[in-house]
Amino acid sequence: MLVSAEDMLKKAKAGHYAVGQFNINNLEWTKAILMTAQELNSPVILGVSEGAGKYMTGYKTVVGMVNGMLEEMNITVPVALHLDHGSYDGCLKCIEAGFSSIMFDGSHYPIDENVAKTTELVKIAKEKGLSIEAEVGAIGGEEDGVIGKGECADPKECKAIADLGVTMLAAGIGNIHGKYPDNWEGLSFETLEAIQQLTGEMPLVLHGGTGIPADMIKKAITLGVAKINVNTECQLSFAEATRKYIEDGKDLQGKGFDPRKLLAPGFEAIKATVKEKMELFGSVGKA
Ligand code: 13P
């Protein structure tokens, strides 16, 4: 059964480790992440962007697939199904469809509007027993043409949003989605420390987990990060393994064209990436 992310993140914050959010795109992704979490006895959060939700034909399909897998694969570790960077309407749709966690990304609104919309969604999410993530300080990405430093959130605004009763808080600390450019200045630990001091117990969320060096990840965890989002890195390892299979001509041998064979190396590559991240984040054995 899907669970809210609240308990797993409270435990992570208290135990000084982080739970990984791995974004899903299809059946292979979902199966690989769930299988790895179970094998490593780790809690896990499955992230679904609005785009990926559409790609999978809608949130109900996602909920059906994930719930089916939890049962058929005998998954016993805590699993949350979480909307990633949701709009207000997207949040309502996911609550309706049976997600166990949502993120409302109001970071592009003026702070007052972010506060107002987050307040409404906190109330709805709490009534239904869902966890809710909010965001302060937009987290850019290569695709938005952002080069160099990502935005840094205002710690006082973080405190204002944290006080609305959200379960976890994403704050920009110089992180961005996708691959980091060569001239990236790294995470702003100064900002993270200031946010942590004002928000106390609140589990903090680090987006853009792909490509952040291990030592920075570890330091971020010591400064209150309890959830780390990873998406691009699984896509890169899947693509690399699939490319190799095709370039080696394996699809041309025997029944190598069967999707269950063709997608197998990519599936294994996602598993390896998720394992590496869970070990780095310290969530192994914490289910
Ligand atoms: P990456 O794609 O950089 O790993 O970021 C994932 C993320 O933050 C999803 O919200």
Q: Which residues span the domain enclosing 199?
A: 6-232
The reported pLDDT for the residue numbered 41 is 98
What separation, in Å, do the N-terminal and C-terminal C-alpha atoms of the chain show? 14
Query: CATH number for the domain including 148?
Result: 3.20.20.70
Residue 272 lies in a domain: no
The reported pLDDT for the residue numbered 151 is 86
User: 250 CA to middle of ligand 1, Å?
Assistant: 31
Residue 254 lies in a domain: no
Domain count, the chain: 1
For residue 34, report the phi and psi dihedrals to the nearest 5 degrees.
-65, -40
Number of Cβ within a 10 Å radius of residue 252 = 9
Residue 38 lies in a domain: yes
Residue 246 lies in a domain: no
Tell which one of 173, 231, 237 to mutate to probe ligand 1, the residue whose CB is within 8 A of the most ligand atoms.
231
SS3 137: coil
Tell me what the pLDDT averaged over the chain comes to. 95
Q: Report the alpha-carbon distance of residue 34 to residue 167 in Å, rounded.
A: 23
Torsion of CA 253, 259, 260, 264, to 10 degrees: 80
The reported pLDDT for the residue numbered 226 is 98
Residue 94 lies in a domain: yes
Residue 227 lies in a domain: yes
- pLDDT < 70: residue spans in the chain: 140-149
Q: Considering the entire predicted model, what is its pTM? A: 0.96
| Catalytic (active-site) positions | 84
Residue 280 lies in a domain: no
Give the closest residue to 170 by CA, choosing from 194, 144, 195, 146: 195
The reported pLDDT for the residue numbered 139 is 77
208 lines ligand 1 (CB under 6 A): yes
The reported pLDDT for the residue numbered 142 is 56
For residue range 199-227, what is the model confidence (pLDDT) as tens digits?
999 999 999 999 999 999 999 999 999 99
Residue 265 lies in a domain: no
